[in-house]
Amino acid sequence: MTTLLFPLRGVPDDEAEEVRQLLTEHQIDFYETYAGNWGVSMPALWLKEGVDLSKARQLIDTYQTQRALNAREHYIQLKSQGLQPTFLKSLLENPLQMIIYFCAIVLTFYVSIRVLFELGL
């Protein structure tokens, strides 16, 4: 019986590819479903044999733990070098874009509040 192993919705392409390689390296038989043309189906990796579930789950858990540690290490390294993007850096690099975003937010609030007062709430 097939078993859902790894949902792919929202998963970065590099992570999905590494999980596929991991399963292939350990000879775990799986297949993949895609989201389809309209994105309503479930993109996922499925096991053909349920007996491989614990082994596959353990491999993926170990991989994801290591990936999280690497990402945290990379973040700390960028932060210590001063290369990590921050709000202030974004504001200084793209002031016009930030002004446009701010104006859009203010306009959204204004329209929302104005409609409430017009309805008498």
One-letter amino acid identity for 70?
N
pLDDT surpassing 80 at residue 93: yes
Determine the Cα–Cα distance for residues 50 and 113; give it in Å rounded to an integer: 55
CA angle centred on 115, ends 113 and 116, rounded to 5°: 65
> Does the reported pTM lie above 0.85?
no
pLDDT for 8: 96
pLDDT surpassing 70 at residue 104: yes
Determine the Cα–Cα distance for residues 23 and 45; give it in Å rounded to an integer: 10
pLDDT for 50: 83
